[in-house]
Amino acid sequence: MADQLQDAVLAIVEAHAETGVTMGKIVDRLVADGGQEQEVELAIWRLMQRRRLTPNGFSCRKVRKPSQSGRGAETRTYEFVLIPWSPALDAQLELDLDGPGSPSASGRAPVKDASAAKR
């Protein structure tokens, strides 16, 4: 089933290769076709891990959550826009968390305990 699910994900992404398709739309489509939500999500993550899909941006939606006061609180949600794997865009998946400007790059160790930093 996993291979069929991954094939279905790839078919949707390839059909939207020019513009990309959000992860949410892929999940919604395959769940409507009878897939299990978590299995579809895992199939997408596995395809990204295997370098079969490439994130090519994101979609941001503002969501209003109800609150006790009745005014509601606005929050943002983000989801990847995916395209078929792209060698040209693949390097963006390698995050350089130790690059220029990071604490380890400056020779300082990150502070682990806030109380120790105040002493």
Of 86 and 6, the one with more pLDDT: 6
Which CATH code for domain 2-92? 1.10.10
Q: Do the Cβ atoms of 24 and 30 come closer than 8 Å?
A: no
Residue-level pLDDT at 100: 62
Of 115 and 14, the one with more pLDDT: 14
Kindly give the interhelix angle for 2-15 and 37-49, rounded to the nearest 10 degrees: 70
SS3 of residue 45 by DSSP: helix
Residue-level pLDDT at 65: 82
Per-residue CA distances from 4 to 1, 7, 39, 51, 55 (Å) = 5, 5, 11, 17, 21
SS3 of residue 65 by DSSP: strand
Q: What is the pLDDT of residues 18-70, one digit of tens each?
A: 999 999 999 999 999 999 999 999 999 999 999 999 998 899 999 888 877 77
